[in-house]
Amino acid sequence: MEASRLIYMANQIARNFAPMGVEQAALATADHIKMYWDPRMIAGIRAADAAELTPVAAHAIRLVDGPVPHMTRATEFAGAHADGAAHNDAG
Amino acid sequence: MGYEPQADFGTPASTSEKLVTLTIDGRSVTVPEGTSVMRAAAECGGDIPKLCATDSVKSFGSCRLCLVEVDGMRGTPASCTTPVMDGMTVHTQTPRLQKLRKGVMELYISDHPLDCLTCSDNGDCELQDNAAAVGLRDVRYGYNGDNHLGLEKDTSNPYFDFDPSKCIVCSRCVRACDEVQGTFALTIDGRGFGSKVSAGLATDDFLSSECVSCGACVQACPTATLQEKAMVEIGKPERAVVTTCAYCGVGCTFRAEMRGEQLVRMVPWKDGKANRGHSCVKGRFAWGYANHQDRITQPMIRKNVDDPWQVVSWDEAISYAASELKRIKAQHGARALGGITSSRCTNEETFLVQKLIRAGFGANNVDTCARVCHSPTGYGLKTTFGTSAGTQDFDSVMDSDVILIIGANPTDGHPVFASRMKRRLRQGAKLIVIDPRRTDMVKSPHIEAQHHLALQPGTNVAVLTAMAHVIVTEGLADEAFIRERCDWDEYQDWAAFVSQERNSPETLEPVTRVPAEELRGAARLFATGGNGAIYYGLGVTEHSQGSSTVMAIANLAMVTGNIGRRGVGVNPLRGQNNVQGACDMGSFPHELSGYRHISDVETRKLFEADWGVTLDSEPGLRIPNMLDAALDGSFRAIYIQGEDILQSDPNTHHVAAGLKAMECVIVQDLFLNETANYAHIFLPGSTFLEKDGTFTNAERRIQPVRKVMEPANGYADWEVTQLLANALDLGWTYTHPSQILDEIARLTPSFAGVSWPRLEREGSLQWPVKDETHEGSPIMHVDGFVRGKGKFVVTDYVPTDEKTGPRFPLLLTTGRILSQYNVGAQTRRTGNTAWHPEDLLEIHPTDAENRGLKDGDWVKLSSRTGETTLRATITERVAPGVVYTTFHHPATQANVVTTEYSDWATNCPEYKVTAVQITPSNGPTDWQEDYNSWSERSRRIVANLTAEAAE
């Protein structure tokens, strides 16, 4: 897929997580990409010129390969609730 | 069900909890305090004659037909205006009353045409019924006195006629327009014997008046004065089926009234919990597309999109589709295949399409039109609250004290709910509107917003953060609620962020263009005005920060403690009839039904065991990603059910290029839509009248859709998907959608207690429905947030990259109009074109003058992406620097100019902000001419080369 589009998307995600601070924003961006991007998109951005990425986005792409904690609950699994809401995504 | 009108209790139900017992004609009856004697009599099986009373409007007491006698009370009071009292003894049928009623009726009939046998209301007329009930046999006055007979009929409305000769001036229509619809278009003109119903000014007819054709007056009329044209043409229906409207996300319940296989009229069902007996011009009247001549009812195929279509048998079409899908999968792998589920189809159909793609194609490349509308709602509300849906039922608005509408135009997009909202506003609730346009909610009869924040498009986050700044820094936050219900540390981080001076209304005013003092006033009102409810639409989501705006809205609700009870909440007004359902059913590429991520092993195992397949554990492509991937050759086949992405998705050139790059495009639709111009296989679709199933509306209400006629193409949509699945060797054996619903319930915890028999019994259910005994959830997050603690998310304002400049100095924002729906495929094929035959460009007088434009001039609308032409309408509804249009007509193709900028979290397109220039024009653009010619060529059908055009 067109690298410039993927880079734009990754930078946009990173920018919106920016208030979390560099480290946390990178983790959140990596988590977001893992949760929402098709594998060919991830492969595409890995192959793209990292110089076009913002520092947070570039860091995030390096993190995508490894285990990333779930930074936003929108991507958390239904079974993860400890309060009895487990296995019921809606309540 | 046969054809019997719904019972009319004469006056609205009382909501009092105190009960009163009285005796009516010897029968003891107990009813809530505040109930009228008329209603109490009807509830215990009586039937007091009446003409000016109907239970959709308040009692009026004008016809004097409903007189009763009450022991100990003087005279003969009108039962409609007399409230019940404990111990009251009422007589409704006595010789004295019979004489009085007969006298009243005699006067009515002396000025009424005696053409019952040829009248279109024959057998369905309350005047006729009541004349029979009072035993009228003769009119002593004769028929030669002064009268209103022979007056001219007003046939200007496309759907109903107004025949003043048959009017008895009961004013039910006027009151329905005021109380039910809230438009105040009708009035009683003149006085005494000269009184007559009038729409608008004396020079107006119904079409030119402010009437919005909701049908409330027609519904209320006791005679043939206001009558559906279809009733005049076809005659009285002989059976009725209760079903759910297939237009917007309000989800109105209707009675489809039939003669044989012919639909005569759609009548709003009073027991429908979403609409409470009300309707709009689309659901009530605009169903003619269902049997429109443009409908394609036979499958068609072609090798290349330049070839004409060839009509084939179902077997041939399905085999060809399956062989193409198998070929492409063998050559390029499963991930080269995908599809789009339809938010216009049922839950069951949507579920099957995503099942086909995941289990049959073997990929997670499934998406739905929510991608381009409310995907940020899913992301934002799941993040902050834990559930991808609105928090309230529609009834909740009647307990709201302050209503905040942001980026929504409910009178046009969700008209039936807008009427409820307006009713509450007339009762005294306060209103804040955040919108770049002066919508009808800002000011209309008896409604005026306390604050209209006419912001610069693209600055939603800045405005909401500034409101939060005011609430936090002025000490208006509901800290008790926050400490109990939300994560306190996250709140403190967020509060520190919003309190920064850079987020103050004064600092942000140059960006938002909202006067700081006005914004402060709005924030104070929302925080201190009692129950605060937020309603929002696509003006929130269709931005590069759509998801951030949804989270900012959630923050605002939490910081003011407005979550978890009636009258408050965060309420996305969902666009299409079943877009909530399509999302619930696992239409997104990263999650299975019930919003469970595809990478979750436990969830996947559940589905794999049930479906007997192994599922791909990686998320698939979203619609814009599919189009991008098509251009690089890694995505080659798509199955699109009931969605016209060429017209509805942004940057038409890019969509066209993506579709053209694919080897196999399968379109399943009612019509040869714009996307079908790029299709290789066309599978005819079925309408909501032709199938059973369920839709889920904006309040999470699962409602039954019932088949009222046989599918014109031979199959309901779910059956077509099953044919394709079985050609791909999936071995599905569903014989009724209820079996699919059982599978959904088995695999989706929030639907666990939902079944077809239960919906038949209870009418509707609001998810989550945890088990067979759980009654459903009208209000969410009552005792705590679904995610545990409510999460405050810092939403930093990031300006869009779509910038105005010397070449493109204006901002275009797009939207909808009342009479048309979405891409217009349905409504353009109905009488609704009387109100909106073309897309128009709204432009402020100053901007028009600078360009030498007059009202009605043709203009070229150009952006960095493309250009189109349309006519201009000059109005102060838009601010200087902002222009607005709709996207209902393919001749305009407004999306030729919209860009590919999208929401950072979900890729929802930024439809609401495009930098444009407007210049005078004297003809269509090259694109419009080329597209028109391509479209005509692409729609050729071999079997009939001369009559192929679907538009």
Concatenated DSSP letters for B300-312? EE-SSTTSPBEE-
Q: Span B154-165, mean pLDDT?
A: 96
Q: Choosing among B375, B563, B597, B794, which should be mutated to test the A contact, i.e. which has the most A CBs within 10 A?
A: B597
User: What letter represents residue B937's amino acid?
Assistant: R
pLDDT at B719: 98
CATH code given to domain B19-93: 3.10.20.740
Alpha-carbon distance A33 to A56, whole Å?
13
Chain A residues 42-71 with CB within 8 Å of chain B: none
Q: Choosing among A7, A11, A36, which should be mutated to test the B contact, i.e. which has the most B CBs within 10 A?
A: A36
Nearest-CA neighbor of B860 among B810, B931, B913?
Answer: B810
Alpha-carbon distance B81 to B89, whole Å?
16
**Residue B841, beta-bridge partner list:** B872
Contacts of B163 (CB under 8 A, 6+ apart): B151, B153, B154, B224, B225, B227
Residues of chain A with Cβ-Cβ distance to B768 below 8 Å are 88, 90-91
User: What letter represents residue B539's amino acid?
Assistant: G
CB contact under 8 A, A35 and B621: no
Q: Span A36-42, mean pLDDT?
A: 96
DSSP B12: P
Closest Cβ opposite residue B618 in set A39, A72, A74: A39
Q: How far is CA B735 from the centre of its chain?
A: 30
- Around B889, how many Cα atoms within 13 Å sit in the side-chain half-sphere? 20
pLDDT at A75: 44
Closest Cβ opposite residue B383 in set A9, A72, A82: A72
Mean pLDDT is lowest, of B1-10, B110-119, B230-239, B358-367, for B1-10
Q: What is the nearest CA distance from A85 to chain B, expressed in angstroms?
A: 7
pLDDT at B943: 67
User: Strand B186-189 to strand B569-572: parallel, antiparallel, or no bridges (unpaired)?
Assistant: unpaired
Alpha-carbon distance B937 to B307, whole Å?
8
Whether the CB-CB separation of B920 and B857 falls below 8 Å is answered with yes
Whether the CB-CB separation of B417 and B536 falls below 8 Å is answered with no
User: What letter represents residue A13's amino acid?
Assistant: I
Q: Is the pLDDT of residue A23 over 50?
A: yes
Q: Span B515-521, mean pLDDT?
A: 98
**Residue B69, beta-bridge partner list:** B91
Alpha-carbon distance B65 to B105, whole Å?
7
Q: Residue B837 — φ and ψ, nearest 5°?
A: -75, -10
pLDDT in tens, B407-433: 999 999 999 999 999 999 999 999 999
User: Strand B637-641 to strand B443-444: parallel, antiparallel, or no bridges (unpaired)?
Assistant: unpaired
Q: What is the nearest CA distance from B830 to chain A, expressed in angstroms?
A: 39
Q: Is the pLDDT of residue B464 over 90?
A: yes
Q: Is the pLDDT of residue A73 over 70?
A: no
User: What letter represents residue B878's amino acid?
Assistant: V
Classify domain B300-373+578-766 at the CATH topology level. Rossmann fold (3.40.50)
Strand blocks (E) in B858-941: 858-863, 867-874, 882-886, 914-920
Q: Which residue do the tokens 């009807």 mark?
A: B42
Nearest-CA neighbor of B7 among B65, B50, B68?
Answer: B50
Residues of chain A with Cβ-Cβ distance to B620 below 8 Å are 38
Alpha-carbon distance B175 to B193, whole Å?
19
Domain boundaries, chain A: 3-66
Q: Span A24-28, mean pLDDT?
A: 93
Name the token pair of B443: 């000011």
Contacts of A27 (CB under 8 A, 6+ apart): A60, A63, A68, A69, A71
CB-count burial class (<10 Å; 0-12, 13-18, 19+) for B933: exposed
CATH architecture classification, B389-572: 3-Layer(aba) Sandwich (3.40)
Closest Cβ opposite residue A15 in set B364, B602, B798: B798
pLDDT at B854: 96
User: What letter represents residue B852's amino acid?
Assistant: G
- ipTM of this complex prediction, to 2 decimal places: 0.91
Q: Choosing among A38, A71, A87, A88, which should be mutated to test the B contact, i.e. which has the most B CBs within 10 A?
A: A38
pLDDT at A83: 38
Name the token pair of B371: 């991608």
Whether the CB-CB separation of B560 and B552 falls below 8 Å is answered with no
Closest Cβ opposite residue A12 in set B628, B629, B904: B904
Whether the CB-CB separation of B552 and B795 falls below 8 Å is answered with yes
Helix or strand run (H / E) with residue B681: strand B681-684
pLDDT in tens, B247-260: 999 999 999 999 99
Q: Is the pLDDT of residue B126 over 90?
A: yes
Q: Span B718-743, mean pLDDT?
A: 98
CB contact under 8 A, A77 and B596: yes
Alpha-carbon distance B60 to B67, whole Å?
13
Alpha-carbon distance B77 to B67, whole Å?
5
Residue percentage of chain B with pLDDT more than 70 = 99
CB contact under 8 A, A38 and B619: yes
pLDDT at B573: 94
Q: What is the nearest CA distance from B596 to chain A, expressed in angstroms?
A: 6
Torsion angle of alpha carbons B900, B905, B911, B916, nearest 10°? -60
CB of A84 less than 8 A from some CB of B: no
**Residue B161, beta-bridge partner list:** B227
Q: What is the nearest CA distance from B622 to chain A, expressed in angstroms?
A: 8
Which of the listed CATH numbers 1.10.287.1770, 3.40.50.170, 3.30.70.20, 3.30.70.890 matches domain B160-291?
3.30.70.20
Alpha-carbon distance B774 to B79, whole Å?
40
Name the token pair of B74: 């003087």
Residues of chain A with Cβ-Cβ distance to B375 below 8 Å are none
Give CA separation, A25 vs A69, A76, B384, B518, in Å.
12, 17, 17, 34
Classify domain B810-942 at the CATH topology level. Barwin-like endoglucanases (2.40.40)
> For residues A30-53, b (16+ Cβ closer than 10 Å) or e, as one string?
bbbbbbbbbebbbebbeebeeebb
Alpha-carbon distance B913 to B902, whole Å?
10
pLDDT in tens, B830-842: 999 999 889 999 9
Q: Is the pLDDT of residue B320 over 80?
A: yes
Give the long-range contacts of residues B854-859, CB within 8 A, separation 24 or more: B857/B920, B858/B920, B858/B921, B858/B922, B858/B923, B859/B918, B859/B919, B859/B920, B859/B921
Q: Choosing among B786, B901, B906, which should be mutated to test the A contact, i.e. which has the most A CBs within 10 A?
A: B786
Q: Is the pLDDT of residue B13 over 90?
A: yes
Whether the CB-CB separation of B282 and B774 falls below 8 Å is answered with no
Name the token pair of B117: 């046998």
CB-count burial class (<10 Å; 0-12, 13-18, 19+) for B440: buried
- What is residue B188's three-state secondary structure? strand
CB contact under 8 A, A38 and B365: yes
pLDDT in tens, B575-613: 889 999 999 999 999 999 999 999 999 999 999 999 999
Give CA separation, A51 vs B267, B470, B647, B928, B944, in Å.
62, 41, 36, 40, 57
Alpha-carbon distance B16 to B31, whole Å?
9
Region of B508 please: left (phi>0), alpha (psi -120 to 50) or beta: alpha
pLDDT at B648: 87
CB of A79 less than 8 A from some CB of B: yes
Contacts of B26 (CB under 8 A, 6+ apart): none
Look over chain B and give the mean of its residue pLDDT values, rounded to a whole number: 95
CB atoms within 10 A of CB B492: 12
Q: Which has the higher per-residue pLDDT, B126 or B923?
A: B126
For every residue of A1-69, DSSP letters joined together read --HHHHHHHHHHHHHHHGGG-HHHHHHHHHHHHHHH--HHHHHHHHHS-GGGS-HHHHHHHHHTTS---
Q: Which residue do the tokens 């429908």 mark?
A: B272
User: What letter represents residue B368's amino acid?
Assistant: T
- Around B688, how many Cα atoms within 13 Å sit in the side-chain half-sphere? 31
CB contact under 8 A, B749 and A89: yes
Give CA separation, B217 vs B186, B276, B451, in Å.
9, 15, 32
Domain boundaries, chain B: 19-93, 160-291, 300-373+578-766, 389-572, 810-942
Q: Span B177-201, mean pLDDT?
A: 93
CB of A32 less than 8 A from some CB of B: yes
Residues of chain B with Cβ-Cβ distance to A20 below 8 Å are 794
